[in-house]
Amino acid sequence: MSLLLSLNNPLNVNLLTGQLLSAPAIWAKPDGLRTALSFMGVFHSAAIKYVERERAAKNGKSTLVTPSTFESHIPFEEWIRTVTKGVDENSQRSHHPLVFGGLLIGIGSQDEDILSSRLGVALQSAFVKATNLAIQEGYPRDESSLLEVVLALNHAFTYLSDLERSKLDYDRLLPVLMNSMLHFPDGLMSGYFLGAADGDLRQVSSKFFNWSKGSGSYRQVERILTGPLISNLGPLSRLVAHTLQQVHDPWLVLSAVEDLADFSRRLLTQWRQNKLSEIDTSEEGMFLHEEARRETLPTLWRLLRATLFAVVIILRSAVGRTVGDGVLASTDSKFCLIFGCSTRTV
């Protein structure tokens, strides 16, 4: 990040951006979405620092050690243009939204309009275009690339105008969002973490069972809950809900609802097969070890509660879409077979 801020030659900033986007040291062995989040954070932090420096310059106060360096830095808008020019065809498309998204978040998180309206619109447009192209290229097989795009969009979506949001390719985006949230390893893993937890439940005395913090299944639940995607499950579910309202093909809504129903059934089955489901809340003190009661089980409840709220948010949007869609609201549609509809079509 320091190099992005200290270089005073636009060509060097351009070159550095391109090198970061394709550097084997960053991308050869990525740590899942955490690598992508850290990479986006570089541009996010750099944008914030640049805004602070611009603000200090206007107030006549240098935030740097040497005044000469303060005088020679690239003007902010030129720096934004230079960074974005470094995003080119020589790097993987799924990395591009991370750069644009990081800049959008860093600038948008400030209280003042630091960019001209024209450049702000151009940056938003570049982000949307990069997102659409990355999804088009990665769908349906490149899981890691699609997750990067979902991560960037989930964080930057709130900083997009309604006009730029309308340009997103929602028909391609919806299946990607559903798979990322419900099925991918960085998501909810189709609910199979519950089955793994049952396998690690151990009887530690004549009457107590324990689910240890050291077990692989608990570490898995903790990793899911604190991961870059599920730790922001609220905004992600609202993004899915918005996408459901915007897709052009009504059968994509039906497919998403069926996917959600299958996920819910699978999660319920996994829970019923888990020995923890046999212990009533009032009986936890009699059968569960203190470690399970106070540490591991509350973590699982947090993940399940977050999942429940996400499902409700998405289903509410799906029902709202159905009310205004004659195809989905027809009594012979699969949606009505799942949830029930009136005999009167809309």
Per-domain residue ranges of the chain? 1-168, 169-346
Please give the pLDDT value at position 344.
43
Whether the pLDDT of residue 126 is over 90: the answer is yes
pLDDT band at 300 (very low <50, low <70, confident <90, very high): very high
Please give the pLDDT value at position 338.
56
Mean pLDDT lowest for which of 36-40, 113-117, 257-261, 289-293? 113-117
Please compute the mean of the pLDDT values over residues 177-203 and round it to a whole number. 92
With vertex at residue 115, the alpha carbon angle to CA 114 and CA 118, rounded to the nearest 5 degrees, is: 155
Please compute the mean of the pLDDT values over residues 318-325 and round it to a whole number. 84
Each residue of 153-176: pLDDT tens digit?
999 999 999 999 999 999 999 999
Please give the pLDDT value at position 233.
96
Burial status of residue 240 (CB atoms within 10 A of its CB: 0-12, 13-18, 19 or more): buried
Please give the pLDDT value at position 51.
85
- Which single residue is written with the structure tokens 């059934």? 265
Q: 262-277 in b/e burial notation, b at 16+ Cβ within 10 A?
A: ebbebbeebbeebebe
Do the beta carbons of residue 252 and residue 174 sit within 8 Å? Answer: yes
**pTM given for the model:** 0.88
